[in-house]
Structure 1
Amino acid sequence: MFKPGTEIYIYPQPPRHADEVQSGVDRYLYALQQSLACELKLVNKRDMTAQQAGEAVTTANEEELDLIPNSNSKKSLLRKCIPSVCFLIYGYIQETVTLALEMRRGVPEQSMIHVNRVGCELQTIAAKIAGIERVMTTVHNLPGEDLEAQHWFRRCIEWLSFACGDRHICVSHATFDAWHQRVGLRRDKVEIIYNGMTPPDYSQFDRDQYRSKLLPTVTDAVWIGICARLHPMKGHAVLLQAFARLLQGGEHSEVALVIAGSGGLDQELQQLAKDLEIEDSVYFLGHRTDAIEFAAAIDINVLPSIHSETLGYSLIEAMFAARPSVVSDVGGMKELIQNSGGGKVVKACDVEGLADALACYLSNPTQMTADGQKAQCYALEHLTADQMAAATMEAYAKLV
């Protein structure tokens, strides 16, 4: 039996306050910390996320990591390959040994470490080298699809990292399936626990006032909203093309596309909106710190991710706000929609399918409201932070 009050050592450090939350992993850790019936402790003061641990030894120079030389000669290949591989091996070994020494100094051998995966991790390997008996991980990411992620040495590190974990929490069935195919992850070592959050209190929220202050010129329009960083994987370009198609027929003129989030694609996406001649109906809000209020202000939530999406918190926020969602069939998002009936699932990169799904809701406000209510009921029953924490405690107990 797992006893409340037992200390769990964790990577990376959970945010101490709500205003420190900056990512989905931060939201997970913060919600877990607030609801867990035991104390989460940081291994040491070095706040290194799993992604940073991997990147610290692989980001020297893109040319050094590129094993495809410009010349076809074998001599060029050897000159290119050997320094790169040696650099990778030396860097990973150095980082792993450093982490292991830190853990050995700061963590009793019979303790438990909970590592949160967002990339190619070394912490689980270091924990076993340090002699720590119980290693739990939460898998927040899908396998990478870029060339660097396919590097044979990186894939070896991924396999060894998973092998050093005693049990794993996957945030969706799709996450498990992807890593099962990638590294042979075993189902008997995995718990499927959806992300959770504290149900928002909207009793004091004035939706009309919020909308009029944010976008006073389109207060009465139907808002199609997305809250996500402006990154290619999030599928903003697909959404803009689908929205342009939606407006072509002229049947849905009283509609606005509201985009919350920042990132390197800001100017590119704004230019795309101009090229599609929809800039008058698209609103870029930039980075927002009021995601909870934004979720309640929109009418339809949309997440057209094209790859690498496990289970975005913006979907869960929209569900708690009783907003239906249109999502792509990437990662675990489709699972929540199919389980709840609170939205529609379309194929990734399917511009026409995305436009048709949005049009269906715009033509049927009754269904839009009903699906939003279904989403909210499911979230309150299955996606609260307390339920996530209770399931995590059970996973801890299986290790103890």
Structure 2
Amino acid sequence: MKVLFTASGEKVGGATLAMLHLMLGLPSQGIQPILLTPNTSAINPNLTKKLMQKGVKIVEGRHRLKGLLHWLWLLITTLKLSRKLGVKIIHTHGPKEATVLGIAAKILGLKHVYTVEGDPIIETYINRSGPVATLVNKILFKTGLRLADEVVGCSRWMATHITKTYGIKATPIWNPIDHEKFSNTTTSHPDEQTILTAARLDKVKDIETLLHAVEDIEPMNRPKLLIAGDGPLKETLTEMVKTKKLQDKVIFLGHRTDVEELMAKAHIFILPSLYEPFGMAAAEAMAAGRPVIASNVGGLREIVDHGVNGLLFTPKNHRELAQHITKLLQDKKLWTTLSQNAREKSAIFKPENIAKRYLEVYMRCLG
């Protein structure tokens, strides 16, 4: 069975990364993944190499078309490539891809599986993107859902949200992670005074609450915070750090492709999101044996079991977050227990395990 995927952005975000990880596991189920991308430069070279070693066929357009020209190229190339290679299923993961490739699937008479990695309407609202962006996202999202033969939510929360909000049945399947990469971290005793977050710097990820929490911690116990990621709020957050006089404790690392190495050095991983359909970074941190402190929202509640492999806090409650950070920094026995349990649970997110669930969806889709 041949399944076509796409990676069409200039940067590989979490949604695309989840599909690349899925492709690592699908060959174990006898499925041939085909990746169509304008160019592979946005994908980590090590991941590209691993995909090829697993038998993933990568078709590279070698162009940098943008806007309407890109989507027209994607549509035409998908039509040609699917006929040529005998594709049975087109698997999409974003509203634009689901709409454009959903149309291609209808033209070709192929099945279309759409993995929903988030509700863009919620994201545009939180990020205050404006009415035009909200309307466009709403149209694309609903169109993509209607064009899909099978809809998958990246968590139980996401699947339930799709069904309740849009009246479309969705199957819950967690996102896979590159478990091998993160579980091979070599530092068993990380810096006990370093905490890490890795996220896009926007309203949704709520790094502001994390900065408030660091400020709340007594100066003599205050850890060093590493922030990996870039985004529209970088300048605002940088000014916030200066205002709070935390320059010696907060380090902005920018976009990083070596997050696994950062996790190996950090003592705790923190994800303070206001909204998180899944929370791949949290699952990756658990594979690295790092206890996770996360906001009690969306899919994070399915990854982090409070008091077992991590800790949950009320969204935007920086005092509660500060208490959790202090507790884990000071209680070595608790840290060790959470770390061991985190590693154990992370195995369920291995690509091979998630691929088994998708095989069921594909077979049901084909009848």
If the length of structure 1 is used for normalisation, what is the TM-score? 0.72
Find the aligned partners of 1:203 and 1:334 in 2 and give their Cα distance: 25
Confirm whether residue 390 of structure 1 aligns to residue 356 of structure 2. yes
Q: Output aligned runs, 1:347-386, within 5 Å.
A: 347-380=314-347, 382-386=348-352
Which of these residues, 18, 25, 43, is aligned with residue 15 of structure 2? 25
2:143, 2:207 → 1: CA distance? 35
Give secondary structure in 2 for the equivalent of 1:338: coil
- Quick check: 1:281 aligned with 2:252? no
Residue 117 of structure 2 aligns to which amino acid in structure 1? H
Secondary structure of 1:243's partner? helix
Query: What is residue 10 of structure 1 aligned with on the other side?
Result: 5
Structure 1: distance between partners of 2:280 and 2:155? 13
Question: 1:265 and 1:359, CA in 2 relative to 1: closer, same or farther beyond 3 A?
Answer: same
Among residues 224, 229, 240, which one is paired with 1:256 in the alignment? 224
Aligned counterparts of 1:340 and 1:131: Cα–Cα separation in 2 = 50
Q: 1:167 aligns with which of 150, 171, 181?
A: 150
- For residues 272-351 of structure 1, what are the structure 2 equivalents within 5 Å? 272-307=240-275, 309-338=276-305, 341-351=308-318
The whole-number CA distance in structure 2 between the counterparts of 1:260 and 1:233 is: 15
Matched residue SS, 1:277: coil
Q: Is the 8 A contact 1:96 1:125 kept in 2?
A: no
The CA deviation string for residues 104-135 of structure 1, in whole angstroms up to 9 with x for no partner, is 44324972111112668413541354142311
What secondary structure sits across from 1:144 in the alignment?
helix
Q: 1:46 Cα deviation (Å)?
A: 8.6
RMSD (Å) for aligned C-alpha atoms = 3.3
Report the Cα offset of residue 231 of structure 1. 2.2
CA distance in 2, matches of 1:124, 1:339: 40
Structure 2 unmatched ranges of 5 or more: 43-65
Identity, in percent, stands at 21
1:301 alignment partner AA: F
Secondary structure of 1:195's counterpart equals coil
Q: In the aligned structure 1, how far is the partner of 2:184 from the partner of 2:281? A: 20
Q: Distance in 2 between matches of 1:149 and 1:340?
A: 43
- 1:143-154 pair list within 5 angstroms: 143-145=120-122, 146=125, 147-148=130-131, 151=134, 154=137
Structure number with larger C-alpha Rg: 1
Aligned pairs for 1:195-274 (under 5 A) are 195-200=176-181, 205-206=186-187, 221-247=192-218, 250=220, 252-253=221-222, 255-274=223-242
Tell me, yes or no, if structure 1 residue 35 matches structure 2 residue 25: yes
**Deviation, structure 1 residue 156:** 4.1
**One-letter code of the match for 1:366?**
K
**For residues 4 and 322 of structure 2, what CA distance do their matches in structure 1 show?**
46
Assess, with a 3 A threshold, how the Cα gap between structure 1 residues 199 and 156 changes in structure 2: closer, same or farther.
same
Q: How does 1:136-147 map to 2 (within 5 A)?
A: 136-145=113-122, 146=125, 147=130
Aligned residue identity for 1:271:
E
Q: Distance in 2 between matches of 1:44 and 1:29?
A: 13
Extract unaligned runs of 5+ from structure 1.
Answer: 1-5, 15-19, 50-54, 58-93, 212-218
- SS state of the match for residue 348, structure 1? coil
State which of 155, 164, 176 in structure 1 corresponds to 2:138.
155
Tell me the CA shift for residue 384 of structure 1. 0.8
Q: Deviations over 1:8-43 (max 9, x none)?
A: 1223369xxxxx984223422322222212222246
Matched, 1:107 2:102: no
Residues in 2 aligned to 1:326 and 1:337: alpha-carbon distance in whole angstroms: 8
Report the secondary structure of 1:226's partner residue: strand
| 8 A Cα contact 1:305 1:328, kept in partner | yes
- The 2-side partners of 1:127 and 1:276 are apart by 52
| Displacement after TM superposition at 1:318 (Å) | 0.8
CA distance in 1, matches of 2:183, 2:291: 17
Contact 1:143-1:182 within 8 A present in 2 as well: no
More moved, 194-203 vs 368-377: 194-203
Structure 1 position 272, deviation (Å): 0.9
